[in-house]
Amino acid sequence: MIGGGNSAVEESLFLARFASRVTIVSRGALSASRTALAKLAEQTSIDVLPNTVPVAFAGQHGHLETVVLRDETSGQQREIHPGGVFVFVGVTANTELVKGFVDLDEHGAIQTDPTLQSSVPGIFAAGDARTGSTKQAASAAGEGAAVALSIRRYVTPLASGIPGEPCIPGQSV
């Protein structure tokens, strides 16, 4: 398992139900929640390698055979031969579709106002792709409901013939 946050630790605990050994490779100290770390401490089949990074993956015929790891403290390298590698090192917002069109933050997430409208009138964002989102399923669903109401508020005046903001700059609705 590559990563040291909640997802990496929780997925390692899950994997340990099926794998004889799980090795967590984390470039720093583990940053998972205290609850996850307490569960990890009870596990005897999970090794943790802090301050360690993967530097090479090798194998043949499309099958992974070796992972080369480097201890960032000592600089020493070692090889391990896992049956598989799982990577949980964070996510990037999949916002290519609107890049250069609506305002994004430095992480590529869509910036929204309190009504969840983006910098372009008529374009709203909800869920993980939105700046400041909590990255939780319940929040994403709730924001989806909130956006539906915002869209209704946005389109209702347009549908009743009251001029509104154009959805796309330069185009009338």
Q: Which residues make up the interface to ligand FAD (CB under 6 A)?
A: 7, 94, 97, 127-129, 135-138, 140
Helix orientation angle between 6-15 and 34-41, rounded to the nearest 10 degrees? 30
Q: CB of 7: closest distance to ligand FAD in angstroms?
A: 4
Give the nearest distance from C-beta 98 to ligand FAD in angstroms.
Answer: 9
Position of minimal CB gap to ligand FAD = 127
Query: In terms of CB distance, is 1 or 67 closer to ligand FAD?
Result: 1
In the complex with ligand FAD, the residue whose CB is nearer, 4 or 127, is 127
Residue with Cβ nearer ligand FAD (141 or 159)? 141
Task: Give all strands (DSSP E) within 20-104, no chain letters.
Answer: 22-25, 46-49, 52-60, 63-71, 77-80
Least distance in angstroms from the C-beta of 44 to ligand FAD: 24
In 10 A of CB 33, how many CB atoms? 13
Cβ 114 to ligand FAD, closest distance in Å? 18
Q: How many other C-beta atoms are found inside a 10 Å radius of the C-beta of residue 6?
A: 16
Nearer residue to ligand FAD within complex by CB, 81 or 107: 107
Instruction: Give exposure, 82-92, as e/b (b: 16+ Cβ within 10 Å).
Output: beeebebeeee
For residue 47, the minimal CB distance to ligand FAD (Å) is: 21
Name the E strands within 82-158. none
In terms of CB distance, is 98 or 155 closer to ligand FAD? 98
Tokens of 24: 């967590």
